[in-house]
Amino acid sequence: MEALFAEIKRHYGLEPTSVEPLEGYEDRTFRMQAAGGRWVLKEHRPGPGRKARIELESRLMEHFRVGARFEYPAQLPVKAGGSYFEYDGKLYRVLEYLEGGFMAEATQDERFLQSLGRLLGELAGKAAGFGAVPVSPDPFAWDLQHLGMSQQYNREIADPRIRSLTAYMYRQFQAEVLPMAYSLRRGFIHNDANDWNILVRDGEVTGLIDFGDACYSWLAADLAVGITYGLMNKEDPLQAAATILGAYHAVFPIAPDEADLLYYLIGGRLCMSLCQAAHTSKSQPDSPYITISQAAVEKLIEQWVRIGPVAARRTFRKVTGLPQVPATGEETFRKRRNRLLSPSLSLSYRHPIIMERAAFQYMFGNDGTSYLDAYNNIMQVGHCHPEVVARTSEALRTLNTNTRYHYESILSYAEALLKHFPPSLSRVFFVNSGSAATDLALRLARFYTGRNQVMALENGYHGNTSAGIAISHYKHRPGHAYPNTLLCPMPKVFGSGWADDGTAGRHLSESCLGQILEHGESLAAFIAEPIMGCGGQVPLPHGYLERVYQAVRKIGGLCISDEVQVGFGRLGEHFWGYERYGVVPDLVILGKPMGNGHPLGAVVCTEEIARAFAEGPEFFSSFGGNPVSCAAGKAVLDVLEDENLPRQAAETGEYLMRCLRELGEESPLIADVRGDGLFIGVELLLADGKPATRKAAQIKDHLREERVLISTDGPFDNVLKIKPPLPFNRGNADELLEKLGAFLRINDNSS
């Protein structure tokens, strides 16, 4: 070190007494004590263009200092001229040491955030006026224009949930920002206004250090970097962003396209930080500089996804005085809908919602409102999950055909799907909906047995085809006859007086067993949902299916499990609903969540049933099993495993049901809480024991106004239906519980 000190004295006339290393990603930085003050010593590894880069940074710092309101470090020139000296195979330079605390350690109130906005505005003005760049910089991983260089490390993020959020934000960035890349204003930006580079004094931002990441890029990228760090650990990140942006705009007016893309640019910076930290931590696992802010970044990306782009765009336009893009009102939608669609299609809630976007367990109205979705079970792994989007997009780009050709995706998906079934269920037919799957399952059963009658449960629902409606008591209307349908009473434990220890199953199956004996010669199949959805989220009693399946098979019939609503890990411990009862059906119907919103369904059956069906007319589905559908289905299976969503469903569901039961101890309105995993029903009864249908509707609409979406179901529509996308977590459960509890405490629950 003495030799280096001697070189510093020779080139700068300074006499160093000590150096203290500072953290950083690449080049080494030291705080240097010398006679007369402190300085910053930078050590650079030589490489192509390195010397030109140092000279460029020197010019840039000097440019930023001219007429500046904020402080930027000065480059100390060497005696012989230039910005650096060479020693021992490395390049060294000395910069002015600016006094002040760091933003990371400061109290960040509104005044502070406004000063941050003014700094970022000054940076934009300086960057825009820097002029021609004498070198052509190589692509730089910390430049938002080249976010893909960081995103390649996404798979190195340890937490699968954060990995998916990052992938989602990256895909949104690609779709929204990149098409506008060449229209955004550019300049030579600082590019690293992070909370350890921003200097603070007396509660306000005073300056900025470290131009090592400066690059020629979008002016709005510099704003996005600075705002991102201003949002860390804020309860209301969007309000903090608005405060910063308002002050920025007063110094350097933002362009409309920059304001509209700012949400995605901030999301891109979050992706960059998380991916780079995950990658670099492998080589520097103990570096606090790399890991210190990652908890805050992870929290912020969760918050940012929930805020959504619609609210951000409207907020950013409002604070900068830009005209709003008008949001079409509900009445306009209603009139168009009434003119174009059938009145048989219903709308949810007293005040229907105009939805514009969605992400994971959140949905976004066209007015910017963000809703917690505790209702839409079709989006099993979350709305717009990036893995499903990526794979279906790629499949649609490369091949979409039908089963009259060989192609890999249908086979790899079938193999992956059948691994979740016992060996006896070894054949799969792909269709394009749960309703089509029901229709096919009934055809299979009738062809195999040579019989026509099907036994189903009251209040059950199995699809919208003619065959499905015939066995769906939930859709039956007085006066309509379905001669090939036998109905058994819904075996509901609650209110039966029997315990669910096998006793209820034994007693509640008697009626069904009697009908099986009476109609045995004509009975083709028995069909049931393991937990009845439209019946009011009613689990079948333990022992019920075991007795019924045994009786059906004894007379030569087949047993069908309708897993459309409860399958694919929703129940937590059990991937399929039939597993919770210790039985194995002959046919399984799949749909709804199978493709995460992509129209996909299937029937899984035994080899014997499939071979028998092949002796009849050829089965062909134009869209069943196409490559895009198979890509969606395989992605769902992989995400369920990678993110361990069934386990999360089990843990979150157990917690939510326990808390709902505790809430029921306070509120007599809650009569029963039932279900499994994240398929939950809360039955409401009045003090006289009658169904609390009106109260259930009030709660549903109240929660909608509180930005939480649930629904109601059951024969009397008095059961709160909770079946969210599986990313729904404990924090989401707490929000639902808090808002439901607030309603119950305020309202009279007894009438």
Name the token pair of 324: 């709003």
State yes or no: pLDDT of 134 exceeds 60.
Answer: no
Q: Where in the chain is the domain with CATH 3.40.640.10?
A: 386-491+520-535+556-565+587-642
Higher pLDDT pick, 26 / 586: 586
Inform me whether the pLDDT recorded for 748 exceeds 80.
no
Question: Under DSSP, is residue 109 helix (H, G, I), strand (E, B) or coil?
Answer: coil
Rounded average pLDDT over 259-265: 98
Q: Per-residue pLDDT tens for 297-326?
A: 999 999 999 999 999 999 999 999 999 988
- Of the pLDDT bands very low, low, confident and very high (cuts 50, 70, 90), residue 520 is confident
Cα-trace Rg, the chain: 32
Are 726 and 678 contacting, i.e. CB atoms less than 8 angstroms apart?
Answer: yes
Round to the nearest angstrom and report the end-to-end CA distance of the chain.
84
- What DSSP character marks residue 105? G
Provide the residue type at 280 as one letter: T
| Confidence at residue 372, expressed as pLDDT on a 0 to 100 scale | 98
- Predicted local confidence at residue 750, as pLDDT: 47
pLDDT attached to residue 16: 92
24: confidence class by pLDDT, cuts 50, 70, 90 = low
**Tokens 């019939």 identify what position?**
557
Q: Give the pair of three-digit tokens for residue 696.
A: 């259930």
- Per-residue confidence (pLDDT) for residue 672, from 0 to 100: 98
Domain with CATH 3.30.200.20 in the chain: 2-96
Lowest mean pLDDT, pick from 130-134, 425-429, 438-442, 726-730: 130-134
All CATH 3.90.1200.10 domain ranges of the chain, comma separated, are 102-319
Q: Which amino acid is at 559?
A: C
Mean of pLDDT values over 253-269: 98
Judged by average pLDDT, the poorest of 528-542, 592-606, 616-630 is 616-630
pLDDT the model gives residue 288:
65
Q: What percent of the chain has pLDDT over 90?
A: 89
Instruction: Quick: pLDDT tens for 202-240.
Output: 999 999 999 989 999 999 999 999 999 999 999 999 999
Average pLDDT over residues 159-171: 97
pLDDT in tens, 410-465: 999 999 999 999 999 999 999 999 999 999 999 999 999 999 999 999 999 999 99
What are the tokens at 11? 């080139």
As given in the structure block, the two tokens for residue 14 are 């300074």
Q: For residue 454, give both structure tokens.
A: 């099907």
Among 442, 375, 433, 460, residue whose Cα is nearest residue 594: 433
- Identify the top-confidence range among 117-121, 464-468, 474-478: 117-121
Greater pLDDT, 293 or 410 = 410
Q: What is the mean pLDDT of the chain?
A: 94
Nearest CA among 386, 324, 323, 334 for reference residue 358? 386
Q: Fold for domain 330-381+645-746?
A: Aspartate Aminotransferase, domain 1 (3.90.1150)
- State the Cα–Cα distance between residues 588 and 367, nearest whole angstrom: 41
User: Which of 10-19, 314-323, 501-510, 584-593 has the least mean pLDDT?
Assistant: 10-19
CATH number for the segment(s) 102-319: 3.90.1200.10
pLDDT digits (tens, 9 = 90+) for 498-510: 999 999 999 999 9
Of 518-522, 648-652, 672-676, 701-705, give the lowest mean pLDDT range: 518-522
Q: What does the block give as tokens for 287? A: 């570096």
Separation of alpha carbons 189 and 212, rounded Å: 11
Nearest-CA neighbor of 204 among 123, 142, 114, 268? 114
* The CATH fold of domain 386-491+520-535+556-565+587-642: Aspartate Aminotransferase; domain 2 (3.40.640)
C-alpha to C-alpha distance for 153 and 346, rounded to whole angstroms? 45
Residue 50 banded pLDDT, cuts 50, 70, 90? confident
Report the 3 state secondary structure along 461-511: CCCCCHHHHHCCHHHCCCCCCCCCEEEECCCCCCCCCCCCCCHHHHHHCHH
The percentage of residues in the chain with a pLDDT greater than 70, rounded to a whole number, is 97
Of 43-57, 154-168, 360-374, 657-671, the poorest mean pLDDT is in 43-57
Mean pLDDT lowest among 21-35, 360-374, 614-628: 21-35
Confidence label for 135 from pLDDT (cuts 50, 70 and 90): low
Q: Which CATH architecture describes the domain 2-96?
A: 2-Layer Sandwich (3.30)
φ/ψ region of 177 (left if φ > 0, alpha if ψ in -120 to 50, else beta) reads: alpha
Q: Using the predicted structure, report yes or no on whether residue 566 has a pLDDT greater than 80.
A: yes
**DSSP letters for 158-193:** S-HHHHHHHHHHHHHHHHHTGGGTTTS-EEEE----
pLDDT of amino acid 749: 52
